[in-house]
């Protein structure tokens, strides 16, 4: 070695425990690895370890032989095992993940005992690499990997000194371009359970493909491909969903075993296309492990990789440089399939970064002593100007996360050993797909036309004007919309009516708007199911639910706050309390709007097509990953509103004024919403082609039910009041409980007759009335406006009135708090039951309670007599 050169050392982190007894001291490999150590064509992972090692040796030799690459510096290498020393059982017991030993022993040796190592090249699975990269980053030692492709490793905050020449971050965008060219809309995914690369790529892939509208029919995490029970479940699922494009995410050995098992159960055929990020290669001789049938099963397998331009000058130079170290010529497929270009580019990028530091004024001695390592984060190697094998003829570039920017290549396997042929590629930014010149894919069975991604399309079940279900949904939706608009108009017109004012006009109109939105969202069930219609169904229900429930909660909370005040409140104070609760109501609704927008942007909900004999139907489903946080936020928001409704329902029973007491009403609303939710969830769990229709009907029925109880009842009461007032004269209507004089105490009755004139051209119309005094001072009454609403019990005086011109009889009950009217068609509407007397015409009713049955009988008898007298019977 020339004395003028400064020695630096680059470490190799590899699974040397699989290579054999090469000699170990702690984690360092002390033996030499040279030509003939592994015979040509030797199967097994040890052959891959060997080829990677000699590739790095040959790349170092090329650099050392060129004094212009790193002037004044000679590179040495040190080898470190990340899985411990070799033992006779190492190959059988190695699981692929060695993070514990690599972190606790290997990285400690590199950092503390081998201070001459200023950079590391790693051949490690993503599961192992993530811990090694984090520890080396803390020690400011640059680390480049050629095989660790997990998207998790793109986190610059956790791994600032890590970069790589293989990455599947953004892999889904590239795959979408291929599917777009092949007109593929559906895919199933099988991933290796417990493998970091598989899991991280699965999450990235589901999110990316879902965003592009590709339907993931199912994703299955497989721990053991030979598990017959789980394999049977996968088989049934793939056949049920007619999955034709199947992605396998896992290490090469897992992929090989998966393909073998799928082939054995008859799922490898010309109608299905299998693809993966690693090509199927078992640990050991494939023929000995699986038999010759294995190469039949992998024929047509699509291997997705980032490879360089074959036969470029730098490609040929690097491949040929291996000959002195291997003792034999390495083929292009072996060169690429062993990821050797990745390590040539890893090393040369690292060395070019070192060279740039020296050109900025640093010395080789500074470089060798780690004094420059603080400057060696991944940004130093991002754009070095090095033109590598993978990026030829462009300079090798890395993004801000340390991931190499490369085109994605698509290769098919011929079944002739592990031979692979490129047929297509996407550019580095995944904006387009193009066929490789002079090549086309060859699928299982020999065809070159991509098979359809499902069975021959069956008629799709779509709700519209040509189906009964569609007509029902459209009719219900339009009817609901018209009812809400009409109701809002009526409420505005009679906004000064006491029944409407007691319900608070802004809040009750908000309920109409909420019902309008939900009824409008039902139209999203009409026509073809798309991502937009799927999301519209959810957002429409959330906004409508918020506009209907939130006003109920905060209006009743305001009433509770006012009625529960310990001191008499002035009008200004009452208005301030109401204003505060209305502002809270508006904020709650705005939160719903914000959640809806974020959910719409983040949700992966999309239509999934299901097949049944003779037709298909689509349902809106959300992927398990990608948007679960926002969906949980929607459920949380809805739960908070329902809890608020339950709380106000309980406290509302303390409100004394009948017109403002909505405890029973809110309780029924709460129960109905919970019942509707349970029905919806139950139907969704056992979904079929009628599920969407049934769901739409449940939504409509629930909205109309809540609307009827909260709004409809009040509109009906206003209408009845309007009708009754038209029958009464001003004098009769001003008749007061306090102005009546009792002429006797033995239940004597007093008759009177009054006249009033509505129009000067008409004759006066006479109204007769009779006071019912029997026990009325000691009676309680309860007025029931509808099936859902009853007033609190109160004391009052009853009188019967008769409009001769219309032959109309009605009962008037006056108390300190209210005056209630009830039209009586006949004396048969009056009945006694013990202490109670019932007046039960049509919709409304009044019930009286007396101290004794005798008083009740006397009151009932006098009322019947009065009605009969009025009608002249």
403-426 pLDDT tens trace = 888 888 899 999 888 888 889 999
Full-prediction pTM beyond 0.75?
Answer: no
Among 2, 160, 114, 143, smallest CA distance to 368 is for: 114
Residue 763 reports pLDDT greater than 50: no
Domains 6-167+315-381 and 171-305+411-435 share a fold: yes
CA 434 – CA 420 distance, rounded (Å) = 18
Burial 376-413 (b: 16+ CB within 10 A, else e): bbbbbbbebebbbbbbbeeebbbbebbbbbbbbbbbbb
Beta strand spans in 45-90 (E): 73-81
Rounded average pLDDT over 27-45: 73
As beta bridge partners, residue 422 has 411
Strand-pair category, 162-164 with 408-413 = unpaired
pLDDT, one tens digit per residue, over 37-66 is 665 555 567 778 888 898 999 999 999 999
pLDDT of 758: 42
Q: How would residue 22 be classed by pLDDT, with cut points 50, 70 and 90?
A: confident
pLDDT, one tens digit per residue, over 822-845 is 888 777 888 888 888 888 765 678
Q: How would residue 272 be classed by pLDDT, with cut points 50, 70 and 90?
A: very high
CA 537 – CA 226 distance, rounded (Å) = 42
Contacts of 110 (CB under 8 A, 6+ apart): 11, 13, 27, 80, 117, 120, 136, 139, 141
pLDDT of 255: 94
Residue 78 reports pLDDT greater than 90: yes
C-alpha neighbours within 13 Å on the C-beta side of residue 681: 7
Question: Hey, what's the torsion of the CAs at 726, 729, 733, 739, to 10 degrees?
Answer: -170
Rounded average pLDDT over 347-372: 92
CA distances from 324 to 31, 78, 328, 329, 434 (A): 19, 20, 8, 9, 38
Residue 274 reports pLDDT greater than 90: yes
Q: pLDDT above 90 covers what percent of the chain?
A: 32
Q: What is the mean pLDDT of the chain?
A: 83
Rounded average pLDDT over 385-389: 88
The domain locations on the chain are 6-167+315-381, 171-305+411-435, 468-723, 727-870
Residue 736 reports pLDDT greater than 50: no
Rounded average pLDDT over 493-507: 77
Whether the Cβ atoms of residue 484 and residue 515 lie closer than 8 Å to each other? yes
pLDDT of 712: 85
Check residues 557 and 118 and name the one with the higher pLDDT. 118
CATH, domain range 468-723: 1.20.1070.10
User: Packing angle between helix 45-65 and helix 313-320, nearest 10 degrees?
Assistant: 110
Rounded average pLDDT over 776-787: 63
Residue 750 reports pLDDT greater than 50: no
CATH class of this structure's domain 171-305+411-435: alpha beta
Residue 367, H or E segment: helix 364-368
Q: According to the CATH classification, is domain 727-870 in 3.30.460.20?
A: no
pLDDT, one tens digit per residue, over 153-191 is 888 899 999 999 888 777 888 999 999 999 999 999 999
Range in 42-46, 597-601, 606-610 the model is least confident about? 42-46
pLDDT of 745: 36
Range in 70-74, 192-196, 613-617 the model is least confident about? 613-617
pLDDT, one tens digit per residue, over 449-476 is 999 887 665 667 888 888 899 999 999 9
Whether the Cβ atoms of residue 148 and residue 120 lie closer than 8 Å to each other? no
Contacts of 127 (CB under 8 A, 6+ apart): 96, 97, 99, 150, 194, 195, 196, 197
As beta bridge partners, residue 772 has 798
Residue 764 reports pLDDT greater than 70: no
pLDDT of 658: 59
pLDDT, one tens digit per residue, over 317-335 is 988 888 888 877 888 877 8
Burial class (CB in 10 A: 0-12, 13-18, 19+), 850: buried
Beta strand spans in 479-526 (E): none
Rounded average pLDDT over 73-94: 84
pLDDT of 660: 65
Structure-token pair, residue 384: 């070095």
> How long a stretch of residues is the chain?
873
Residue 728 reports pLDDT greater than 80: no
What CATH architecture applies to the domain 6-167+315-381?
Answer: 3-Layer(aba) Sandwich (3.40)
pLDDT of 153: 87
CA 559 – CA 578 distance, rounded (Å) = 8
């Amino acid at each position: 070695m020339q004395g003028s050169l400064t020695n630096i050392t680059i470490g190799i982190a590899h699974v040397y425990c699989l290579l054999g007894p090469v000699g170990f001291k702690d984690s360092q490999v002390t033996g030499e690895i040279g030509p003939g150590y592994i015979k040509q064509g030797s199967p097994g992972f040890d052959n891959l370890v060997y080829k990677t090692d000699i590739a790095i040796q040959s790349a170092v030799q090329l650099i050392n032989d060129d004094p212009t690459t790193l002037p004044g510096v000679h590179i040495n290498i040190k080898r470190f095992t990340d899985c411990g020393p070799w033992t006779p059982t190492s190959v059988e017991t190695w699981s692929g993940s060695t993070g514990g030993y690599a972190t606790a022993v290997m990285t400690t040796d590199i950092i503390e005992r081998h201070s001459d190592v200023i950079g590391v090249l790693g051949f490690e699975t993503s599961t192992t690499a993530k811990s090694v990269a984090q520890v080396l980053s803390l020690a400011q030692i640059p680390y480049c990997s050629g095989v660790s492709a997990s998207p998790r490793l793109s986190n610059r905050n956790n791994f600032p000194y890590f970069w790589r020449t293989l990455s599947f971050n953004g892999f889904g965008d590239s795959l979408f371009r291929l599917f777009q060219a092949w007109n593929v809309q559906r895919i199933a995914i099988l991933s290796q359970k417990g493998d970091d690369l598989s899991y991280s790529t699965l999450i990235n892939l589901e999110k990316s493909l879902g965003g592009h509208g590709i339907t993931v029919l199912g994703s299955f995490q497989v721990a053991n491909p030979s598990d017959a029970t789980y394999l049977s479940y996968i088989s049934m699922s793939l056949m049920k969903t007619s999955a034709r494009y199947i992605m396998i995410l896992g290490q090469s050995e897992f992929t090989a075993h998966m393909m073998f098992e799928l082939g054995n159960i008859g799922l490898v055929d010309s109608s299905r296309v299998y693809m993966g990020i690693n090509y199927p290669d078992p640990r050991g001789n494939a023929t000995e492990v699986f038999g010759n049938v294995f190469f039949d099963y992998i024929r047509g397998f699509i291997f997705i990789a980032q490879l360089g331009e074959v036969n470029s000058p730098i490609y040929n130079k690097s491949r040929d440089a291996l000959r002195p170290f291997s003792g034999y010529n390495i083929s292009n497929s072996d060169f690429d399939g062993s990821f050797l270009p990745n390590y040539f580019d890893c090393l040369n990028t690292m060395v070019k970064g070192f060279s740039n530091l020296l050109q900025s004024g640093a010395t080789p001695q500074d470089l060798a002593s780690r004094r420059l390592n603080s400057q060696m984060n991944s940004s130093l190697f991002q754009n070095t100007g090095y033109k590598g094998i993978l990026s030829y003829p462009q300079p090798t570039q890395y993004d801000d996360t340390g991931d190499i920017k490369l085109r994605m290549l698509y290769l098919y396997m011929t079944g002739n050993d592990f031979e692979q042929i490129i047929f297509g590629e996407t550019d580095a930014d995944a904006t387009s797909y193009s066929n490789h010149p002079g090549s086309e894919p060859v699928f299982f069975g020999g065809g070159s036309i991509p098979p359809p991604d499902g069975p021959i399309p069956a008629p799709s079940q779509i709700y519209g004007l040509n189906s009964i279900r569609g007509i029902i949904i459209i009719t219900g939706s339009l009817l609901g919309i018209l009812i809400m608009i009409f109701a809002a108009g009526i409420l505005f017109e009679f906004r000064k009516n006491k029944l409407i004012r007691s319900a608070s006009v802004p809040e009750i109109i908000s309920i109409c708007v909420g019902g309008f939105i939900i009824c409008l969202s039902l139209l999203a069930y009409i026509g073809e199911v798309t991502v937009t219609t799927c999301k519209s169904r959810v957002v429409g229900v959330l906004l409508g639910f918020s506009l209907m429930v939130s006003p109920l909660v905060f209006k009743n909370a305001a009433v509770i706050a006012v009625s529960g005040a310990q001191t008499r409140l002035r009008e200004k104070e009452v208005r301030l309390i109401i204003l505060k609760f209305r502002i809270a109501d508006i904020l709650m609704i705005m939160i719903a709007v914000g959640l809806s927008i974020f959910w719409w942007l983040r949700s992966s909900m999309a239509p999934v097509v299901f097949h049944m004999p003779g037709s298909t139907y689509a349902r809106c489903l959300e992927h398990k990953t990608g948007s679960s946080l926002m969906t949980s936020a929607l459920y949380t928001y809805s739960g908070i509103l329902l809890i608020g409704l339950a709380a106000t329902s309980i406290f509302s029973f303390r409100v004394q004024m009948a017109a403002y007491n909505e405890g029973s009403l809110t309780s029924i609303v709460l129960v109905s919403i919970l019942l509707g939710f349970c029905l919806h969830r139950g139907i969704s769990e056992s979904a079929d082609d009628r599920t969407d229709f049934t769901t739409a009907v449940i939504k409509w029925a629930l909205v109309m039910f809540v609307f009827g109880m909260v709004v409809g009842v009040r509109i009906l009461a206003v209408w009845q009041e309007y009708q009754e007032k038209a029958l009464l004269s001003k004098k009769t209507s001003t008749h007061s409980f306090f102005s009546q004089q009792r002429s006797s105490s033995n239940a004597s009755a007093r008759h009177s007759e009054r006249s009033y004139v509505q129009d000067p051209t008409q004759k006066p119309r006479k109204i007769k009335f009779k006071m019912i005094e029997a026990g009325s001072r000691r009676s309680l009454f309860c007025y029931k406006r509808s099936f859902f609403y009853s007033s609190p019990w109160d004391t009052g005086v009853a009188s019967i009135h008769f409009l001769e011109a219309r032959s109309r009889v009605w009962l008037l009950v006056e108390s300190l708090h209210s005056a209630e009217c009830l039209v009586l068609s006949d004396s048969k509407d009056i009945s006694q039951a013990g202490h109670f007397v019932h007046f039960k015409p049509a919709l409304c009713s009044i019930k009286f309670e007396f101290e004794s049955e005798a008083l009740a009988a006397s009151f009932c008898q006098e009322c019947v007599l009065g009605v009969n007298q009025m009608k002249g019977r």
